[in-house]
Amino acid sequence: MFIGIIGATGNVGRHLVGEALARDHHVTAFTRDLARAGTDHERLTWHELDAFDSAAVAARLPGLDVLISCYQPGNAATDFAGTVAQSIADPTAYSTVARALLTALGTRPRTRLLVLGGAGSLEYAPGKVVADDEDRLHAALDGLGLPRGYAAAVRGHRDALNVYRTSNRLWTYLSPAEEIGPGERTGRYRVGGDQPVVDEAGRSRISFADTAVALLDEIEHPRFVQRRFTIGY
């Protein structure tokens, strides 16, 4: 397949590039700054792209079977604190990018869109979302070592998911585990719908590498078109 990746130099994006190439796909890697491009491969090309510019995104869609968006403000892989600060400063960015991507897909309605979003829109009980419960959300942020102001960004991710849910495009939204970070590629994970997948210790966790595995698995074997899913160990 021909796969485009927005945020290809980020924590998950870098693993997506490698995972897709290892599976013999062709990859178009998008970044805001080509100076960050690193990997070279005969089936890999790099381009600058502004995810907020729907016309620019639309111009890159011809020839792509799938577009993956790992959009984050800044680059969390090199400046995590900066990404957190920018996300707090403008939590509407996620829904703005969602609208831009969906507008672009209007020109290529058969192109699939996979979005790596946030975990805060997951339910802690049927119909009860973490992002809507301030006490629970603050406790979760405290546990992750994030400032409580990041609650605005969590709600921004939730709002973006709601934008996708109103669309008839071929979108899929992945809410990763509540704890996502460095770790080995095991190739093993469990799948859920709207509630977190937790391990024997009650933790919802996944590595960047296995998040990439899950996204590529969904591309190759679609199960969640026009749906959200989540993963965890």
Burial class (CB in 10 A: 0-12, 13-18, 19+), 188: exposed
Tens place of pLDDT for every residue, the chain, 233 residues? 999 999 999 999 999 999 999 999 999 999 998 888 878 899 999 999 999 999 999 999 999 999 999 999 988 888 999 999 999 999 999 999 999 999 999 999 999 999 999 999 999 999 999 999 999 999 999 999 999 999 999 999 999 999 999 999 999 999 999 999 999 999 999 999 999 999 999 999 999 999 999 999 999 999 999 999 999 99
Q: Are 76 and 10 in contact (CB under 8 A)?
A: yes
Task: State the DSSP H helix or E strand holding residue 137, giving kind and residue range, or none if neither.
Answer: helix 134-144
Structure confidence by residue, pLDDT tens digits, 115-155: 999 999 999 999 999 999 999 999 999 999 999 999 999 99
Domain that holds residue 39: 2-232
Residue 230, φ and ψ in degrees, nearest 5:
-135, 170
Please report, for the domain that includes residue 215, its CATH number: 3.40.50.720
Q: How many domains does the chain have?
A: 1
Beta-bridge partners for 207: 181
- Please tell me the distance from the alpha carbon of residue 184 to that of residue 211, in angstroms, as a whole number: 11
The model carries a pTM of 0.95
| pLDDT digit string, tens, across residues 45-64 | 999 999 999 999 999 999 99
